[in-house]
């Protein structure tokens, strides 16, 4: 069983002799996507100070490796999180730290009861960061006025998210607006520097994970804002 690789940037100092300080809380992200989400949260980690996240907060990305690399189904992510939170090598403290499962709800559109069952199971132990139909919706929110100019006018098409060529509708619209393929271009992660725009625009769509099915949904900005306000 291949180990999970933890990407973090905690307490980097100019000299090894500097005093090390334990974090107040750690937030561990485990994501459905192997590339897009990873690039984004790596940038959140790398720019933590500039984004106003308290110095005593550590953000960790749990990067899937080996046989876990292709794990994407939310229930499989849940099982992976269950395994890894008890792994002493990861440093997870159940009393203080938080683990966040990041996933799209589009796979549940025709299976609402399955979604409700998963939601009730997972919310007891984990924070759930969800997007409907996909993470590209959250990425689009980083562009000023994208909500009123693109997302709301095209709500039905975005929710349907039909395949156009080799891309889904929302991914294709993101590519057209950003000039980047969200699945292939690591520069999508640099959008994290504009997270304030996304946080504010996200407040005008559904942020309730439980009500994600049938609604344009993203609560990722809200979770980032919550992390930023921790140890305030």
The answer to whether the CB of 30 falls within 8 A of the CB of 62 is: yes
- Bridge-partner residues for 132, per DSSP? 217
- Confidence tier at 224 by pLDDT (50, 70, 90): very high
pLDDT recorded at residue 16: 47
**DSSP for 48-70?**
TTTTT--TTEEEEEEE--GGGTT
Q: What is the average per-residue pLDDT within 3-24?
A: 69
Q: pLDDT tens digits for 21-32?
A: 789 999 999 999
* Cβ-proximal residues to 174 (8 Å cutoff; 6+ apart), any chain: 136, 139, 140, 180, 182
Stretch 177-193: mean pLDDT, rounded?
A: 97
Give Cβ neighbours of residue 229 (< 8 Å, ≥ 6 apart): none
Q: What is the pLDDT of residue 131?
A: 98
Percentage of residues in the chain having pLDDT higher than 70: 94
101 in helix, strand or coil? strand
Q: How many residues does the chain have?
A: 232
CA distance 217 to 40: 18
Residue 103: HSE in the Cβ half-sphere, 13 Å Cα cutoff: 27
* 67-96 pLDDT tens trace: 888 888 999 999 999 999 999 989 999 999
Q: Cα–Cα distance between 169 and 182 in angstroms, integer? A: 12
Average pLDDT over residues 158-174: 96
220 or 64, higher pLDDT: 220
Q: Would you tell me how many other CB atoms lie within 10 Å of the CB of residue 8?
A: 18
Question: d(Cα 27, Cα 92) in Å, to the nearest integer?
Answer: 9
Mean pLDDT for 115-136 is 97
Domains of the chain (ranges; CATH) run: 24-135+186-229 (3.40.50)
Scanning 86-148, the segments in alpha helix (DSSP H) are 112-122, 135-140, 146
Averaged pLDDT of the chain: 93
Looking at residue 12, its pLDDT comes to: 57
Judge contact between 51 and 38, C-beta under 8 A.
no
**pLDDT given at position 93:** 94
Longest dimension (CA), the chain: 57
- Is the pLDDT score of 15 beyond 60? no
Percent of the chain with pLDDT over 90: 84
Cα distance between residue 143 and residue 43, in whole Å: 17
């Amino acid at each position: 069983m291949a180990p999970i690789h933890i990407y973090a940037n905690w307490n980097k100092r100019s000299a090894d002799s500097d005093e090390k300080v334990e974090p107040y809380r750690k937030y561990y992200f485990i994501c459905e996507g192997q590339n897009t989400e990873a690039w984004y949260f790596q940038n959140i980690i790398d720019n933590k100070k500039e984004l106003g996240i308290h110095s005593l907060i550590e953000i960790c990305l749990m990067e899937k490796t080996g046989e876990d690399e292709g794990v994407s189904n939310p229930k499989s992510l849940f099982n992976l999180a269950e395994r890894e939170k008890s792994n002493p090598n990861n440093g997870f403290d159940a009393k203080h730290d938080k683990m966040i499962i990041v996933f799209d709800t589009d796979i549940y559109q025709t299976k609402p009861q399955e979604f409700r069952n998963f939601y009730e199971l997972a919310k007891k132990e984990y924070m759930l960061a969800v997007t409907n139909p996909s993470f590209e919706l959250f990425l689009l929110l980083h562009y000023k006025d994208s909500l009123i100019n693109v997302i709301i006018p095209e709500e039905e098409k975005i929710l349907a998210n039909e395949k156009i060529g080799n891309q889904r509708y929302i991914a294709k619209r993101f590519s057209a607006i950003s000039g980047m393929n969200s699945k292939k271009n690591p520069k999508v992660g640099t959008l994290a520097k504009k997270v304030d725009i996304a946080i504010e625009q996200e407040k005008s769509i559904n942020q309730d994970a439980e009500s994600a099915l049938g609604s344009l949904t993203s609560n990722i900005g809200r979770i980032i804002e919550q992390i930023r306000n921790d140890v305030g």
